[in-house]
Amino acid sequence: MASAYKKRGVWYARFKGPTGAWLATATKLPTKAAAKKAAEDLERKAERQRWGLEPLPQQNGMTVGELITWWLKNHCPEPSRVRAESSLQRNVMRTPLADSSLMGATSQRLEDHFRMLERQGTDGARKLAPGTVNHVRAYLRTAFNKARKAGKWQGNNPVADTEARKVPKRAYLTLSAEEVPVMLAHVSSEWQGFMAVGAYLGLRKGEAAGLRKSDVDLSRELLTVGASYDHDTTKGKHADVLPIPPPLLPYIEACLKTPGPYLFPSADGSMRTEDCDPEKVLRYALGRAGIVDGYDHVCRRCKGQKRKEHTWRYLDRAPRQCPTCGMSLWIHALPRRLRFHDLRHSAATVLLRAGVDAHRVQRIMRHASVTTTTGTYGHLLAEDLRAAVADVWATTAPEPEAEAHPAAIAVGAESRSLVTRLLPDDKLHADTIAACVRNLRESFGNELERATRFELATLGLGNTPNTRLTSCNYETFTYPKGIPLHPL
């Protein structure tokens, strides 16, 4: 309970401080009542600080730079350390934000910093992609959280109130099941196992590099994925046992004969490090395997003489002559733009396209939660839904001659209402929906799906990720031009 007392003519306010200890502070207040009022105010403030609603006053000392150094040293997970350190060095430590006190690093200040990274980048660097800004934000947020747990920071986490950048969902370039062996056939033998385990089991670069020969159980055809490089754990922080698919087995068997403890070592038997470049190996193999976006045909003479035209792009690699000087053109393959990590996306894609359910794909991909799997690959899950929904509707659908139904007419009038009407809680009879979809299909066929990018058969499936992906499209729905409405 706050109180006031007088000592040598000065009124003191006595109150319980932020740490719970009793504090007294001298005031310049003339009366006991005023000093007591001040003590009550101070105690209320201290209480808020104790609850973490306000930062503690003595925390002014630590700077953002010191916080980052402390976090990197004590709390940053080992597999992320190199990346986190280089990102934070470049995007925080060399900026004025590093010298700011933690108190000064308000949400507004941090938001301004992220905006600066996004718009112009740090000095001498390029501006950052939204996903990269999110990484910096995530590191800072974790650092503040850890500091709070360690008692180095009491206030709210200021990063939590900054905006996460919207990252455009990218469509991953992948290899089909048929392309994988073709690609592998063009990889040099020292990299074949590394590439194969990425393509068939979706291992990350660090996980493939960290695999040891002791992780292979040939008799049971099992592989234990438990480490990223020489760290104790993977990104997912746990070890998993995966079955080795038959086409991967011969690669694994061959790699068991390499020197050293690692399954896919570099030439001298040591572990491949983060500096190894499977991208380069992959690009070369893709070029050789003909998995390309096209070929550049270059006239080296015209290029050397700095003529305006010296490169032509074709889909084939037939020999051609320079139209200007007649010299035979030099052919460069333009490999499909896959990174090593895209082999992981390929593996997931192949599995999902083959109808493997999301829960098993999650286990093979070793995602912590199935929402990661469905969130990343939700668009692929539409295929098995299509079959399921089509089957149900096929059995309940009336004959095509069935009379036009009001719901079907609504399609022509307003596309939005179609979508609303097809939601599962709508009481419309199933045959109405079927007739409606059938009419739409007959009217527009693939044109409609291409124009709207939603799949008719999956429209009714509420909140599944695939409809969430497509739900934005019907907002801007327009019919393809020049295609007449089907007379219902």
**Residue 325 in the binding site for Zn ion (CB under 5 A):** yes
- From 100-108, 174-182, 315-323, 411-419, give the range in contact with Zn ion by CB under 5 A: 315-323
DSSP for residue 226: -
Query: Of 216 and 299, which has the nearer Cβ to Zn ion?
Result: 299
- From 76-84, 135-143, 318-326, 396-404, give the range in contact with Zn ion by CB under 5 A: 318-326
User: Of 454, 378, 384, 377, whose CA–CA distance to 422 is shortest?
Assistant: 454
Closest separation in Å from C-beta 322 to Zn ion: 3
Q: Which helix (H) or strand (E) holds 391?
A: helix 370-396
Closest separation in Å from C-beta 320 to Zn ion: 11
Bridging pattern class, strands 240-243 and 222-225: antiparallel
Three-state DSSP at 235 gives: coil
Closest separation in Å from C-beta 316 to Zn ion: 20
The answer for 202, left when phi > 0, alpha when psi is -120 to 50, beta otherwise, is: left
Query: Of 280 and 300, which has the nearer Cβ to Zn ion?
Result: 300
Closest separation in Å from C-beta 201 to Zn ion: 47
CB 195 within 8 A of CB 181: no
- Within positions 209 to 248, which residues make up the interface with Zn ion, using CB under 5 A? none
Two tokens at 168? 């455009």
Query: Of 325 and 409, which has the nearer Cβ to Zn ion?
Result: 325
Closest separation in Å from C-beta 296 to Zn ion: 14
DSSP for residue 223: E
State in Å, rounded, how far the first CA of the chain is from the last one.
80
User: Of 150, 34, 134, whose CA–CA distance to 87 is shortest?
Assistant: 134
- From 49-57, 64-72, 302-310, 420-428, give the range in contact with Zn ion by CB under 5 A: 302-310
**Residue 299 in the binding site for Zn ion (CB under 5 A):** yes
With b meaning 16 or more CB within 10 Å and e meaning fewer, what string describes 434-464? bbbbbbbeebbeeebeebbebbbbbbbbeee
Query: Of 197 and 302, which has the nearer Cβ to Zn ion?
Result: 302
- From 251-259, 322-330, 333-341, 438-446, give the range in contact with Zn ion by CB under 5 A: 322-330
Q: How far is CA 267 from the centre of its chain?
A: 33
Neighbours of 20 (CB within 10 A): 9
Query: Of 127 and 300, which has the nearer Cβ to Zn ion?
Result: 300
Query: Of 329 and 448, which has the nearer Cβ to Zn ion?
Result: 329
- From 202-210, 214-222, 232-240, 299-307, give the range in contact with Zn ion by CB under 5 A: 299-307
- From 211-219, 232-240, 278-286, 316-324, give the range in contact with Zn ion by CB under 5 A: 316-324
**Residue 324 in the binding site for Zn ion (CB under 5 A):** yes
Q: Which residues contact 380 (CB under 8 A, 6 or more apart)?
A: 349, 352, 353
Two tokens at 31? 């009366």
Closest separation in Å from C-beta 307 to Zn ion: 7
CB 461 within 8 A of CB 386: no
DSSP string computed for 331-346: EEEEE----HHHHHHH
- From 101-109, 301-309, 373-381, 459-467, give the range in contact with Zn ion by CB under 5 A: 301-309
Lookup result for tokens 């045909």: 297
Closest separation in Å from C-beta 297 to Zn ion: 11
Query: Of 323 and 462, which has the nearer Cβ to Zn ion?
Result: 323
Contacts with Zn ion: how many residues (CB under 5 A)?
A: 7
Q: Which residues contact 463 (CB under 8 A, 6 or more apart)?
A: none
Query: Of 205 and 310, which has the nearer Cβ to Zn ion?
Result: 310
Query: Of 50 and 301, which has the nearer Cβ to Zn ion?
Result: 301
**Residue 329 in the binding site for Zn ion (CB under 5 A):** no
Q: How far is CA 214 from the centre of its chain?
A: 31
Q: Which residues bind Zn ion (CB under 5 A)?
A: 299, 301-302, 322, 324-325, 327
